[in-house]
Amino acid sequence: MELARRRGRARLTRPLLWAVALVAALAVGAVAWSIAQASRTEAATCLDAPVTEATVLTYGRGLEGATGAEFARRHDIASYGADFWSQRFDGERPVDALADAVRSALASDCALTSVAAQLGVDTATFDEAMAQPGGVDAYERIRSRAEELKDAVRVALLEQAPPADADLRAAFAELDDTLKTSDLAVTVLRVHGADALLDGDTSVDVDGIRDRLTAAGADVEELRVDSQEISKEDLYSSQLLEAMQNAQPGDVLAGFEDGERLILVDKLGGGPLTFDQAPQLARNAYVNDLLTDRLDEAVAAGPLASTADLGALLLGALPAS
């Protein structure tokens, strides 16, 4: 009797398993069809060439984090709700801000391919990256290929319009002074608990200063920072180099924390550069200005035209929270 019940349950279970498998297969097939459809469906045109929905979604995924964070900052939003992207804040929707960001990035990239084509620069590698759908990684790949294409365009611009000496000097003169300084390397003592010893001092004799500070009970840390070795993310080192830009060995400066003092022990470089010392810097400034002007002109010409509602398209693909 028990065996008959088991067989009956088995006969009932098999159709259910087949039904679940069928639903799963249909769902996977629907997703695959949706991706394939998005890869073919036009959402915009770049100089009459189609920009697919898949490409728009790739840009959206790549810009989603930064755009959402900036929108939340501007509107003082502490946390994201389930309807964040579609909700209105002071009359604005985050999804519309994302659509604007996507449209702007697409227009810039479209302008870049336009300028490249005018100069006879091959855009095949960039076009291939742009056509590959995906998430953040795919968007970062597009950005990497865009920088490579810009480098090739810079070379072509210099060949087409070689700069005269006066052009280079003018470009160098327009650079911010912070960009016209030599590499800087410093050795600094970061000191805590030395108020009594350094009270009112703006300069000290660096010979044996560390031993004197330690003997007085101060907490002393030696920092060696080189502008050629620090990363953009190392904010403390960047602040330290900026603070030491005009300082001289022996100078005592207020630190970045309460009770902290900074003593410059040694300094190499950091002085202002002249045009003759940095001809490549002038050349880079010249071609970057030239590239910016050409790209601005290309964007102003309106190379991108939306043929679909980008906000609606993005909203349908954004996560629920």
Residue 19 pLDDT greater than 70, yes or no: no
Q: Quick one: which of 298, 282, 274, 89 has its CA closest to 172?
A: 282
Helix (H, G, I), strand (E, B) or coil at 239: helix
Q: What is the pLDDT of residue 320?
A: 55
Q: What is the pLDDT of residue 17?
A: 36
For residue range 210-219, what is the model confidence (pLDDT) as tens digits? 888 888 888 8
Domain ranges across the chain: 42-162+295-317, 181-269
Residue 273 pLDDT greater than 90, yes or no: no
pLDDT-derived band at 241, boundaries 50, 70, 90: confident
Average pLDDT value for residue range 255-269: 86
267 within 8 A of 227, measured Cβ to Cβ: no
How many residues appear in the chain? 321
Average pLDDT value for residue range 181-185: 81
Whole-model pTM? Answer: 0.67
Q: Which residues of 110-122 are buried (b: 16+ CB within 10 A; e: fewer)?
A: bbbbbbbeeeebe
Q: What is the pLDDT of residue 112?
A: 96
For residue range 60-115, what is the model confidence (pLDDT) as tens digits? 999 999 999 999 999 888 877 778 899 899 899 999 999 999 999 999 999 999 99
| 270 against 303, higher pLDDT | 303
Distance CA 218, CA 193 (A): 5
Backbone angles phi, psi at 23, to 5 degrees: -60, -45
Q: What is the pLDDT of residue 39?
A: 52
Q: What is the pLDDT of residue 169?
A: 92
Q: What is the pLDDT of residue 1?
A: 46
